[in-house]
Structures are given as structure tokens and as C-alpha cells.
Amino acid sequence: MTKKEARKVFKEMRLSLTVGDRNRFDDLILIHFQQLQLPDLFYVHTYLAMKEQREIETDHLLHYLEFRNPELKIVIPRMDHTTSELLHIEYDELVDVMKNEWGIHEPVNGNLVDEQLIDLVFVPLLAFDEDGYRVGYGKGFYDKFLAKCRPDVLKVGLSYFEPIPRISDRAQFDIPLNYCVTPQRVYEFG
């Protein structure tokens, strides 16, 4: 399946889920995520879910991580349209968030965080394959970002659906996940 085909199929599948399905799947994803043997974490980068796209919300996972790591700092992205790269902002009660022109919530203020400090990244995706490669929204922001992170950064995807066998048009700059958590199980890669 190509990335374009996967985007279409999995967007439609995600939009067809009921609120009850999503709530049940979110609970199962949290249960499976809690089984991961994670190191101590200091900086976790997360996307802000697009509700109208029915992206998986990370709030419940972040609460769990904050409980395990009391000093945890949450980092959220802001797009830099001049460079087509992400900036990384420490998220706290003083940070204001607004929708950008693509309908993505992002911070309008806050302190920048260097990519090298980040320990774990929740990577947004529409689909993933059995080798840990993902289909995003096609702009390449996250692949550029992940290439700048430390080699040991944990890359975690969240999906309501199981993997496809293989994304047929992977690019050399695509970076695979370490884990993808679904309602059925945790997939570990590499």
C-alpha cells in the first residue's frame, strides 16, 4: 500500500469510529502503554491531537508518565513555515495555544527546548507497517525533527488499527518507530 492510499483508507476508518469505540480503544492503549519498560524520562514531546481528525489524544498517557516521572517536562510542537521544521516549546499553564491555518493547535509563546534534550516522542500517524514505518500527513515535519533528536530517543506511535504489511513507497529519510501501541498490543521495532 502506498502512503497516499494508506492516508485515504485510514483517515476514513478513523472517522468512522464511534465515541464509544474510541473511548474503549483509548483505555486499551493506556493499559498496553503502561506495560512498556521505559527509562526515567525528563522531556516528552507530544503532538496536540486534532479532534476533528479523531487523532488519538495523549493526555491520559502523559498523566501516567507524569505520575512515574514527577520532574517530567512536556514539550509541544510549533511549525516554522519558513524552514518547514518544528520548533519545540515547553508546555505549561502559561503557554497559549491557538489553531494554525491547517487546523493544528500549536503554542504561540513559551520557552524553546532543544531536540537533544527530548527522551520520548509521541509521533502522530495515520497508519504504520510491520517494520515500524509510519504514514503521517505528508509534510515531512516529523521526519526532519526525529533526524535531529538523539539516537536513543524513543519514538512511539499510537494507532487504533493494526499495521499494514509494508508501506511500498518509503523514502530514505523516513525514520521508523521504536514502538506502536494499539488497542490489541504493543509492537516493538528494531
Cite the annotated binding site for substrate by residue number.
48, 55
| Contact criterion met (CB below 8 Å) for 153 and 2 | no
Residue partners of 160: CB distance under 8 A and separation at least 6: 13, 14, 17, 21, 22, 25, 56, 182, 183
Residue 181 has φ and ψ, to the nearest 5°, of: -105, 125
| Contact criterion met (CB below 8 Å) for 175 and 147 | yes
Of 95, 18, 29, nearest to 62 by C-alpha is 29
Residue linked to cell 503532538: 47
Residue partners of 184: CB distance under 8 A and separation at least 6: 28, 32, 162
- Amino acid type, 148: K
Cite the annotated binding site for ATP by residue number.
3-7, 134-142
- Say how far apart CA 52 and CA 112 lie, in whole Å: 28
Cite the annotated binding site by residue number.
3-7, 48, 55, 134-142
